[in-house]
Amino acid sequence: MQTSTDFIVIGSGVAGLRAALELANGGRVTVLTKDRLDESNTEYAQGGVAVALSDDDEIDLHVEDTLIAGAGLCDETAVRVLVEEGPRYITELIEWGAQFDREGGELAFTREAAHSRRRILHAHGDSTGREIVRALIAAAKKHPNIQLTAHAATIGLTVENGRCVGVQFIDPSESLRREVFARAVVLATGGAGQLFAQTTNPSVATGDGMAMAYAAGAMMCDLEFVQFHPTVLALAGAPRFLLSEALRGEGAILRNHDGEAFAKRYDERGELAPRDIVARAIVAEAQRTNQNCMFLDLTHLDAGFLRERFPKIFETCLRYGLDMAKDLLPVSPAVHYVMGGVRTDTHGRTTLPGLYAAGEVACTGVHGANRLASNSLLEGLVFGARAGAAALGDALPSPAKAESEPIEFDLSDWRLDQRTKARVQELMWWKVGLLRRAEELQSAVAELTQLAEEKINRRTRNFVTLARLMAEAALWREESRGGHYREDFPARDDKHWQVHSAQSLNQPIQSIARISEA
């Protein structure tokens, strides 16, 4: 176990690994992750990575599609950074060995909802995230300055004189609490989908990084904007398995229980409308027809094509008795991505000096109120690299102090209380879910406030606190925009609400005009 380091990266998804590779140019880097090195939201990203690299695509078109999906709240400066620098980092990733699918030797692009061009790169059909993580881990393992430490749960950030100077974590080899100091810390812990009862996110996506940053004094932004993926397998006894956006990009049709294609009844773009619109269309159609789910129909597509293009989805469906080429797939929405998070500028700087953030844990403003499909992997690469570069440039000349002596640690003090977790998940799903109203949001805030006051450990309190912040932000925004839909305020209101929510410790919620001016 490395006892001293220059930089600490928390998280081993695409953003964390890319940040580590950047930081390694200037010192020793310790990457801490609470599970396996390859267990993150990145690994579960099926559809692909969006990048303007094809001959018929343009940077400005990708920018425009992102801005439209973001429903008037994207920070255009951040969007341009993402889209303009994206090709460089994808090319670099290919040079590092990432193997994207090709046709006739050329990169193969597909289309997803709300994209005006076929600009989605994919790997092994529907295992893009896994391939990107594989390539990044391989690159990181080759670098002598990077130490990858799995099963090391970070339990807090160390702040001295208003600056983040290190972290406290649980040593994976012994039940010891260690405190390590560094010249800078990069937070890349992913999202918080596990706050909800129905989610595509893995069990590790509990929002620990967001909660730790908030507790340390960093500002949070736009937590009310949660993206519900519209097409998630809705089958008794099966996991909430994501049925990629790319299925609809390749021609899948949404049908109700009478076999009617209904998507264009709710939006002229039909199955290729932005995710929030498709998700609400499925819920509305289910309510109209008094059903619990709708169906995704791919039976008109060639079986060989489906098996080759979507091997993981094809095999998973077969495991649960569904043949994509012959059967309609039952689907309903589930929580997929949090657009909000720790506020950063376009270089990953948070409002807490010494702390940087990238990936889903961060809020750069690039996604606005609704993330454009397949922009998240690109965001991790681009802003992970930028956060690493900024941390390197701004860092203290040396760590604040040497590592403190480890102390014995009772692991039960950091395990999520499962009873409280289950209550929060149900509360968030039913009262802070896809369709929101003031009464339910007020009730959720009250109960979450009460839960946080009960005798629970720090991690469980972090979980409850993050849920409360999300519910408070949703109650505060009295309009509907992107992933946030209020049945009592169904209209988008640019006159009063084209602003971002901002939440800080011991401060009332407020509005800010721009995210990137952190």
Answer yes or no: is pLDDT of 303 > 70. yes
Of 28, 240, 248, 275, the active-site residue reads 275
Please choose, from the candidates 200, 190, 272, 273, the residue with its C-alpha nearest in 3D space to the C-alpha of residue 243. Answer: 200
pLDDT attached to residue 290 = 95
Domain ranges of the chain: 227-336
pLDDT attached to residue 240 = 87
pLDDT attached to residue 249 = 87
pLDDT attached to residue 359 = 97
Residue 46 confidence class, pLDDT cut points 50, 70, 90: low
First to last CA, the chain: 35
pLDDT attached to residue 39 = 55
pLDDT attached to residue 120 = 92
Answer yes or no: is pLDDT of 1 > 50. no
Answer yes or no: is pLDDT of 112 > 70. yes
The string over 185-203, giving b where at least 16 C-beta atoms fall within 10 Å of a residue's C-beta and e elsewhere, is bbbbbbbbbbbbbbbbbbe
pLDDT attached to residue 407 = 86
For the domain 227-336, what is the CATH code?
A: 3.90.700.10
CA distance 201 to 194: 7
CA distance 382 to 14: 10
345, 391 Cβ separation under 8 angstroms: no
Answer yes or no: is pLDDT of 61 > 60. yes
CA distance 438 to 476: 9
pLDDT attached to residue 498 = 98
> The pTM is what?
0.93
Show the beta-strand stretches assigned E in 298-400.
Answer: 329-338, 341-343, 355-357, 362-363
Segment 324-378, tens digit of pLDDT: 999 999 999 999 999 999 999 999 999 999 999 999 999 999 999 999 989 999 9
121, 53 Cβ separation under 8 angstroms: yes
Segment 135-191, tens digit of pLDDT: 999 999 999 999 999 989 999 999 999 999 999 999 877 778 999 999 999 999 999
Segment 489-514, tens digit of pLDDT: 999 999 999 999 999 999 999 999 98
Mean pLDDT score of the chain:
93
127, 134 Cβ separation under 8 angstroms: no
Average pLDDT over residues 396-410: 84
Percent of the chain, pLDDT > 70?
A: 97
Residue 300 confidence class, pLDDT cut points 50, 70, 90: very high
Concerning whether 481 is annotated as a catalytic residue, the answer is no
Average pLDDT over residues 452-458: 93
Residue 365 CB neighbour total at 10 angstroms: 28
Please choose, from the candidates 440, 262, 411, 254, the residue with its C-alpha nearest in 3D space to the C-alpha of residue 333. Answer: 254
Q: Which single residue is written with the structure tokens 């993926």?
A: 229
Q: Is 404 helix (H, G, I), strand (E, B) or coil?
A: coil
Distance of CA 171 to the CA centre of its chain: 26
